[in-house]
Amino acid sequence: MAAHEHRCAEERGRAGLLLLSIAAIAVGCGGSGSGGGMDGGLDGSADADTDADADADTDADADTDTDTDTDTDADTDTDTIPDDLPGEICGNGVDDDGDGMLDCADPECKAEPACQGEAEICDDGLDNDFDTRVDCADSDCSNQIYCQEDCDNNADDNGDGLTDCSDPICKGIDPVCGEVCGDGIDNDEDGKIDCADEDCADKDPPCGNNQSDGTTCAYGGDEPHTCSCADGIDNDSDGKTDTGDIHCFGPFDDDEGDYATGIPGDNKGSKGNKECPFDGNSGIGNDGVCCNPADPSQNVTPNGCDSQACCEIDVNGNGTGEHVYVFGECVFAPTCGSDGKHNCPCADVTACDPGQYCVKDDDSGQGFCSTCEPCTSKEECENPCSCGEACFGGFTQPESECGGGGDGGTDGCPLGVTACPDGVGDCNAANNEQCVSGCCYPECPQGVDPCDISSDCPTGWLCITGCCIVSPV
């Protein structure tokens, strides 16, 4: 486990993401969607940008609009939305104007380029085209046989034995049945939106017990479909699914079988000395999104990895993590003896089969043979796997690393970490803290929203190792 969070030397350039621009303008470059991003090169150069573009805007723009709303009619306006709320900010995950509609679901945001959706997919539980109608409730799906159910006529229209809101094409989809689970709106006005509403607990996708992410892929002209790394299915039959599979770099990854992503032109996780494999493309032009300590919401590198795919994962399945490169032939190790010398003890590489490496358990213990190459993280661009975080490849730090009392610690927690004998109520929710191994640890950096699936995040953001991150693709 990395014992400290290293930060990159300095903030560089501008992130080349449209949603970042929208959010940064709206919140004055200060909220979770803000931050300057970093220039492409990750070679440690300071990128001394001497552009003096101070944009000395002297436009007085003295907006003296004193519209005082002189409506003097005697109506007793019972609208509980405060008059002084701002307009909707289209990408910050907040219902800014208090109308129960979030980001792209709010009519105020319809003209924003980031809110121009794709074609509606009729069975994924999401409002893909941002018209506030989901799946069978969208007229685009009216020709689908399984969508021939009227959700409010007390009849079984599609002959599946289920009537109205008891039919899964109605519950969580049609507003007559209460909360719609993927449209960004608080339909039943209970203060909870989409998967945060318990009415959506069994609506999968986009919510549900197995937490399949439901992110849509349509790369290279493919028909829109749920991405392979977001569909809740073990597509390559290796016993690992979606984020638990080391071949999945994020829910946008459409290839669970190897280190490609299914995006035309993308890398395959090769060990370039500057390339980031997590940004959905080849080349270093936007690699700043893989190393952005100034704004963690822009850092697409998963917890546990550095910007060049040196990641801490539990290679041999015994609960502790090893730092290895996740590319090429790297796979979780099988039982010793089931595949040559793979996962059998070794003192050095000579004890292993050709093409294998001798990896030290927990980075310093007994060696074992592996197809994964050991590595040392590039510290200035590492996103360590810390206690309390969900990390790459389904890894989480073991209790031995997170409790038991550090130097000077009390109550079994490291120094400076609050104990939580009574559960999460002892922790600071504003810091995203959860109770883990009896100690309070943050799930995500302060200011970055935790998530289970991408529909928990603002439109255009993705849930990457449990935190809402601006989509890199």
Identify the CA nearest to 369 among candidates 381, 361, 357: 357
pTM of the model: 0.58
* Residue 345 contacts residue 367 (beta carbons within 8 Å): yes
Sign of CA dihedral 98, 102, 103, 107: negative
What pLDDT does residue 46 have? 36
Q: Give kind and range of the element (H or E) at residue 20.
A: helix 18-26
Per-residue pLDDT tens over the stretch 408-455: 344 578 888 888 888 889 999 889 998 888 889 999 988 899 998 888
CA dihedral of residues 333, 335, 339, 342 (deg, nearest 10): 50
Task: Give the SS3 label for residue 105.
Answer: helix
Task: Fill in the amino acid letter for 441.
Answer: Y
Is 415 exposed, middle or buried (CB count within 10 Å of its CB: 0-12, 13-18, 19+)? exposed
Which pair of structure tokens corresponds to residue 44? 């440690």
Identify the CA nearest to 71 among candidates 80, 83, 62, 63: 83
What pLDDT does residue 113 have? 65
CA distance 22 to 29: 10
DSSP H helix total and E strand total for the chain: 2, 13
Residue 205: asked if its preceding bond is cis (omega within 30°), the reply is: yes
Return per-residue pLDDT of the chain as tens, 473 residues.
Answer: 543 333 333 333 333 333 333 333 343 333 333 333 333 333 333 333 333 333 434 343 434 444 444 444 434 444 444 555 667 787 666 777 877 776 777 777 867 766 766 677 777 777 777 777 787 778 788 777 667 778 888 888 777 778 888 887 788 888 888 888 767 678 888 877 777 777 777 666 666 544 578 888 999 888 888 899 988 888 888 888 898 899 999 999 999 998 888 888 786 555 555 688 888 888 777 788 888 877 878 889 999 999 989 999 999 999 999 999 999 899 999 999 999 999 999 999 999 999 999 999 999 999 999 999 999 998 888 999 999 899 999 999 988 888 754 343 445 788 888 888 888 899 998 899 988 888 899 999 888 999 988 888 888 899 999 999 988 88
* Residue 289 contacts residue 221 (beta carbons within 8 Å): no
Q: Are strands 433-436 and 439-442 parallel, antiparallel or unpaired?
A: antiparallel
